[in-house]
Structure 1
């Protein structure tokens, strides 16, 4: 480094990023779809692992309770393991904006 130059370091946020309305909807939809199919968290975890995305029932539990963020790779694998399109666990756009804050889970099952 040249004399007189300052080194700047970026600092990562120390608080976790909150789970927003789409994440909350997805968490509820995953649990609802799993229960509708008569699967335990352990059984769904085994299905996800068989799809080359290792997952524990603890991770699924935390995801369903919105205590763990669900990344896109997890979301796609969970949806496939549940036999639905990944879009089936996401909220639908509404006239009030891109996300439904009070999305009806029944629409997920009928869609």
Structure 2
């Protein structure tokens, strides 16, 4: 029986989308960002980066730190959406 792929949860999906948003805002292609990550000592192909952004591949903590460094942001910036507590509507709000 083939192994089941690990499910990517909400934090992983939020980080993947943040990576893509930040990469495009910086004007980097996937190839350029993958090369920057590799230059930092964390080998990464553009295919691996594409799979992370499409939530096909999990982004481990070492990948996240290297990607954040290559993008010039703190790792927390890529997790910000995942860390925000859900907003609860107060009285009179919907």
TM class by shorter chain equals 0.7 to 0.9
Larger helix percent: 2
Any runs of at least 4 consecutive aligned residues in structure 1 with deviations exceeding 2 A, and if so which? none
Pair 1:15–1:80, CA change in 2 (3 A): same
Correspondence for 2:4 among 12, 15, 28: 15
Report the equivalent of 1:103: none
- Tell me the C-alpha RMSD between the 2 structures: 1.4
Are the equivalent residues in 1 in contact too, given 2:17–2:53 (CA < 8 A)? yes
Deviation at 1:14, TM superposition (A): 2.2
Correspondence for 1:94 among 41, 63, 85: 85
Report the equivalent of 1:81: 70
State the TM-score, normalized to the length of structure 1: 0.72
Q: Structure 2: any 5+ residue segments left out of the alignment?
A: 88-94
Return the structure number with greater relative CO, CA threshold 8 A, min gap 6. Answer: 2
Are the equivalent residues in 1 in contact too, given 2:33–2:71 (CA < 8 A)? yes
Q: Structure 1: any 5+ residue segments left out of the alignment?
A: 1-12, 97-111
